Amino acid sequence: MKGKIRRVPLGGVSPIIIPQSDFNPKKKSRDFRPIIKPPIILLTLLTLVVFNFSALQAEDSLRIEIPLVKDSPFPLTNLEFYQITQPRVALVLSGGGARGLAHIGVLKAFEEKGVPFDLIVGTSIGSVVGGFYAAGFSADEIHRIISEIDWSSIFTDETHRTQMFFSQKSIPRRHLLQFRLDGVLPVIPSSISQGQKIFQTLYNHLIGAKVQAGGDFNRLRIPFRAVASDLISGKKVVLARGDLAEAINASIAFPLLFAPVEIEDMLLIDGGVTDNLPVSVALHEGADFIIAVDASSPLRKRDEINAPWEIADQVTTIMMKTPTEESRQMADVLIRPNLKGFKGGDFQKADSIIARGYQLALKMADSMLQNIRIYKTKKNRSSKPLGILAELSVQGATFHPREEMLKNLPFQIGQTITSGDVEDALKLIYASGYYERVNALVTGDSLARKLTLQVKEYPYVSEVQFEHHHLLADSFFAELQEKISHKVLNFKKLLYFLEQLKNEYLQQGYSMVEIKEVTYHPEKQLLYIRIDEGLVDEIVIQGNRTTKNFVILREFPMKSGDYLKADLVKEGIQNIYSTNLFDRVLLNIEPTRKGNRVIIKVKEKKYYLSRVGAHYDLERRTEGFVEILSDNFAGTASTVSLIGIVGDFRRSVQGLLYTVRVLNSYYTARLFLQYDERKDRFYKNFDRLKDYQIIRRGGKIVVGQQIERLGLVSAELRVENIDIHSGEPDFPYRDGYEIRSLALRSVVDKRDQLPFPERGIYNRWYWETGSQRFLGGSSSFTKLFLGLEGYYPISKWWNYHPYFYAGSADLTLPFSEYFFLGGQKEFPGLHEREKFGRQFIHTGIEIRYRFPIFNSIEAFLIAKYALGATWERPDDRITSSDFLHSLSLTFALETLLGPIYVTYASLIHHPPILQFSLGYSF
């Protein structure tokens, strides 16, 4: 017979060692081989029982207490609170990628059946599900959160365009390849993702959890442990303290997919590398009964081993095969859902995987509950007969009538009782919440027992005083005061009322509220409750070796003296990450004597970059692009850039210095210098003549005010010398200009992504004037432009894009400043810059269809109608014949080489043309 060895006291005699049956006889670590033969054991037990009964008849008294342990959720003064000690049931959740979503179904079944557990241990995806459940989320809530995550983009750490300032948006992506440089050598990424998006996904939900860890995972609704692996020591790491989101992040940081998470001196990666089913962790944490849910992935097939991370996953599975089997043997209950056919990356099949876990756990729940009850009964007590109850009395009950306490006891006078019956009665009385301590004294002999219940009541409360800072309405506190005061304190109800209080704060966005102190003043019968409402005592930044503190702090919308609000904390993390200065931005909150210390932890990027790009189209042929830049010049988040462009029709050298925000303001500034040679084809009445060339030398200074993260209002001073040349005798615009102009611009850009926006508006206007008298230019002119457009999703696959552009200028406007019309993307059917004038109108509509699946590449079909016209003079008469009508159909792909466009376009009454382009424009 196998089992545990435990010591069971029998009456007043010395304990003997007996084997306790185990629900899993396969557990090697709990084997027991009896060395005494069964007949001898039975004879010994019978002798002891007879001896013990005689001893009880002779006893004068017996004191019975229930096992208690101090476990108040907040500091107490002049009060005590205990929890009844129970055998500890642990739930162990394995890794397994998407297969581990079966844990959600298991938890749902446990909720419905009332399966209890006192500890959760999770590895990898098991730490995600287990951590959220421990923090107060229900199984259905976790299911909803998992369903809302876009798993296809979870490895993409790029800042969403809507989170950027316009001064960041205004420089669109132009490069094909980008290398960050460490000195002169390129930095090779350690993983596909730095893990920022997965961290923020976790953090944004956990910051609003019903229960906050406050740095200690034992303070969660259910104590929790996350298992990770230290890349430096090679050892398993059990995380029981710190930030919950960061701990879970470390536990799921699978090598090559996610970068290691730095905690203290460790580099932490996926816990499945060292322990994919951490039953041993539960044992080490003192668990008595272990339920293990195993969703581990089997070995991959030959055709499923291609990418480097798939190889790493296969190696990990091989390494963990034997340890995982040993862990299965150590569990009291093992739940292994049938997940055949589901892979570790099948997150899109979440509903089916969750259902598998739910169905199996529901079938096993009843027998599991019975096993737990049997185990707890054996573990909790060694019940012994006491005899016949002849008298029952109560000591210490001042505020509650004796009858009230006794009416629900599980026995009556005249019945034969056991020590277990008395213990059950004490637990029932203690559970009422009115008593600090309860115990029992048994006197007399077995034929006439006297049972005295001895209790210590909680005190009477005349007044309740809250110390808070009025973040909630005073009426809410007045209502709580009325419920608690002028009555005997019921600690169970007090816990409930304070939980209501924290939930009210949570609904208002104050997620870091803690009950700091509960003190009873007996001389005044006053209950004093001090609340920490999440006061920010100090803000500390860690990890910024180059970046100035003010660059980070100006993006964080809170300061010392504020109260922590979940939305502002999330906004702060996103704002700091949106600067594009950091690989990772984490935030920890630590309690201090005065409030809370907010620790902003950043991991800086390498700030020197090299970018290269290329573009090809049928008109301008090939163009190449090279850029060298520093995107955190002097640690101020300023960018210094040098750009070179060369192609069949263009040569350009550009220098750029700009800062997104000037100091702590929302002003932005930019200095742009360039030498640019550009050739264009010259068309007259749709006939191509010889090319012309425009050479620009000069620059401009822009100072503007950011409009939140939506747009910009700016003033621009431009100084350029322009030369225009052409070998065409009929080209009438050969000249040289000295442009000295001042412009006012306004832009609102809410497009969500480029080059294929799904939603958002893009509206802009500008007024520009060139001056001879005040600015020293060679010509004076005035120019006005208006552009309005928007992207609106019709359905998941269809998009609607209307637009309208118009511009006007006076007769003195030089040719280089004309409005131009044409090109594949702007006016299909016309060649680039084929039409031009001092006035123009261009309007149209696009209908775009996104193909659901096209070999994992974004593919689009775009139908477009455009209407446009240009005029040389403002006084030209406008007629319907001036307008050109364009109809086009474009097939587009978004690829690693940049966007590809193939367009078939036709102007009405003109022959159709085919247009093609590849790569980003620059």
Q: What's the one-letter identity of residue 611?
A: R
Q: Is residue 166 part of a domain?
A: no
Q: Are residues 151 and 283 in the same domain?
A: yes
Q: Are residues 192 and 206 in the same domain?
A: yes
Q: Which residues contact 95 (CB under 8 A, 6 or more apart)?
A: 123, 124, 125, 126, 270, 271, 272, 276, 277, 295, 296
- Give the residue among 333, 292, 295 at the shortest CA–CA distance from 120: 292
Q: Which residues contact 452 (CB under 8 A, 6 or more apart)?
A: 393, 394, 395, 440, 441, 442, 443
The number of residues making up the chain comes to: 922
Q: Kindly report the three-state secondary structure assignment for every residue of 779-845.
A: CCEEEEEEEEEEEEECCCCEEEEEEEEEEEECCCCCHHHCEEECECCCECCCCCCCEEECEEEEEEE
- Beta carbons of 663 and 679 less than 8 angstroms apart: no
- Give the residue among 394, 402, 391 at the shortest CA–CA distance from 444: 391
- Give the residue among 393, 338, 448, 424 at the shortest CA–CA distance from 57: 448
E strand or H helix that includes residue 506: helix 491-507
pLDDT over 70, % of the chain = 92
Task: Please report the pLDDT score of residue 587 as a whole number.
Answer: 93
Q: Is 532 a catalytic residue?
A: no
Residues 496, 487: Cα–Cα separation, whole Å:
16
Give the residue carrying structure tokens 């430096």: 232
Three-state DSSP class for residue 468? coil
- Beta carbons of 919 and 176 less than 8 angstroms apart: yes
Residues 729, 559: Cα–Cα separation, whole Å:
68
Q: Which of 270, 332, 617, 680 is catalytic?
A: 270
Q: Is residue 813 part of a domain?
A: no
- Give the residue among 425, 443, 430, 454 at the shortest CA–CA distance from 389: 443
Strands 463-467 and 514-521: unpaired
Give the residue carrying structure tokens 């200095």: 671
Token pair listed for 115: 């399966």
- Average pLDDT of the chain is 88
More reliable by pLDDT, 210 or 250 = 250
Token pair listed for 423: 């213990």
- Beta carbons of 268 and 237 less than 8 angstroms apart: yes
Q: Which residues contact 599 (CB under 8 A, 6 or more apart)?
A: 540, 541, 542, 587, 588, 589, 590
- Poorest-confidence range of 76-85, 327-336, 396-405? 396-405
Q: Which residues contact 35 (CB under 8 A, 6 or more apart)?
A: none
E strand or H helix that includes residue 773: none
Q: Are residues 544 and 469 in the same domain?
A: no
Q: Are residues 131 and 264 in the same domain?
A: yes
pLDDT over 90, % of the chain = 66
Query: For the residues 862-879, what does the mean pLDDT come to?
Result: 93
- Give the residue among 68, 66, 74 at the shortest CA–CA distance from 494: 74
Residues 462, 479: Cα–Cα separation, whole Å:
15
Q: Are residues 277 and 363 in the same domain?
A: yes
Rounded to whole angstroms, what are the CA distances from 492 to 463, 489, 495, 650?
Answer: 18, 9, 5, 79
**pLDDT digits over 216-232, tens only?**
999 999 999 999 999 99
Range of 208-212, 310-314, 512-516, 702-706 with top mean pLDDT: 702-706
For residue 553, with 0-12 CB atoms within 10 Å meaning exposed, 13-18 middle and 19 or more buried, which class applies?
A: middle
Q: Is residue 915 part of a domain?
A: yes
Residue 576: CATH number of its domain? 3.10.20.310
Give residue 12's pLDDT band: very low, low, confident or very high (50, 70, 90): very low
Task: Please report the pLDDT score of residue 20 as a whole number.
Answer: 27
E strand or H helix that includes residue 517: strand 514-521
Q: Are residues 197 and 235 in the same domain?
A: yes
Q: Is residue 809 part of a domain?
A: no
Q: Are residues 707 and 742 in the same domain?
A: yes
Strands 463-467 and 526-532: parallel
Q: Which of 124, 297, 419, 886 is catalytic?
A: 124
Task: Quote the longest CA-to-CA distance of the chain.
Answer: 131
Q: Is residue 854 part of a domain?
A: yes
Q: Which of 485, 517, 532 is the last residue of a domain?
A: 532
Three-state DSSP class for residue 759? coil
Model confidence at 673: pLDDT above 70: yes
Q: Is residue 918 part of a domain?
A: yes
Task: Please report the pLDDT score of residue 856 as a whole number.
Answer: 64
Model confidence at 920: pLDDT above 60: yes
Give residue 724's pLDDT band: very low, low, confident or very high (50, 70, 90): very high
**pLDDT digits over 478-514, tens only?**
999 999 999 999 999 999 999 999 989 988 989 889 8
Q: What's the one-letter identity of residue 395?
A: Q
Q: Is residue 175 part of a domain?
A: no
Q: Are residues 304 and 292 in the same domain?
A: yes
Token pair listed for 140: 């259905």
- Give the residue among 141, 158, 238 at the shortest CA–CA distance from 196: 158
Residues 175, 906: Cα–Cα separation, whole Å:
31
Query: For the residues 779-786, what does the mean pLDDT come to?
Result: 95
Residue 316: CATH number of its domain? 3.40.1090.10
Q: Are residues 125 and 259 in the same domain?
A: yes
Number of Cβ within 10 Å of residue 126's Cβ equals 33
Alpha helices in 561-640 (DSSP H): 566-578
Token pair listed for 285: 């944490």
Omega of the bond prior to 899 within 30 degrees of 0, cis?
Answer: no
Model confidence at 194: pLDDT above 50: yes
Characterise 192 by phi-psi region: left (phi > 0), alpha (psi -120 to 50), beta (else): alpha
**Helix-then-strand count for the chain, H and E:** 16, 48
497-503: long-range contacts, CB 8 A cutoff, minimum separation 24: 498/74, 498/529, 501/476, 501/531, 502/210, 503/210
What is the dihedral angle through the alpha carbons of 411, 412, 416, 419, rounded to the nearest 10 degrees? 40
Q: Are residues 855 and 746 in the same domain?
A: no
Task: Please report the pLDDT score of residue 2 as a whole number.
Answer: 34
- Give the residue among 644, 505, 634 at the shortest CA–CA distance from 565: 505
Q: Are residues 482 and 586 in the same domain?
A: no
Give residue 10's pLDDT band: very low, low, confident or very high (50, 70, 90): very low
Q: Is 270 a catalytic residue?
A: yes
Model confidence at 49: pLDDT above 60: no
For 98, the domain range is 94-156+186-378
CB-facing half-sphere around the CA of 22: CA atoms within 13 A: 26
Q: Which residues of 403-435 are buried (b: 16+ CB within 10 A; e: fewer)?
A: eebbeebebeeeeebebbbbbbbbeebbebebb
Q: How many domains does the chain contain in total?
A: 8
Give residue 286's pLDDT band: very low, low, confident or very high (50, 70, 90): very high
Residues 541, 556: Cα–Cα separation, whole Å:
11
Q: Is residue 83 part of a domain?
A: yes
Residues 10, 49: Cα–Cα separation, whole Å:
8
Model confidence at 55: pLDDT above 80: no
- Give the residue among 821, 802, 833, 827 at the shortest CA–CA distance from 907: 827
- Beta carbons of 346 and 98 less than 8 angstroms apart: yes
Residues 398, 454: Cα–Cα separation, whole Å:
12
Query: For the residues 270-292, what does the mean pLDDT come to?
Result: 94
Task: Please report the pLDDT score of residue 185 as a whole number.
Answer: 86
**pLDDT digits over 137-175, tens only?**
999 999 999 998 887 777 777 788 888 888 888 888 889
Q: Are residues 521 and 641 in the same domain?
A: no
Token pair listed for 404: 């009230």
Task: Please report the pLDDT score of residue 60 as a whole number.
Answer: 62
Model confidence at 58: pLDDT above 50: no
Task: Please report the pLDDT score of residue 42 as a whole number.
Answer: 39
Gap between the terminal Cα atoms of the chain: 79
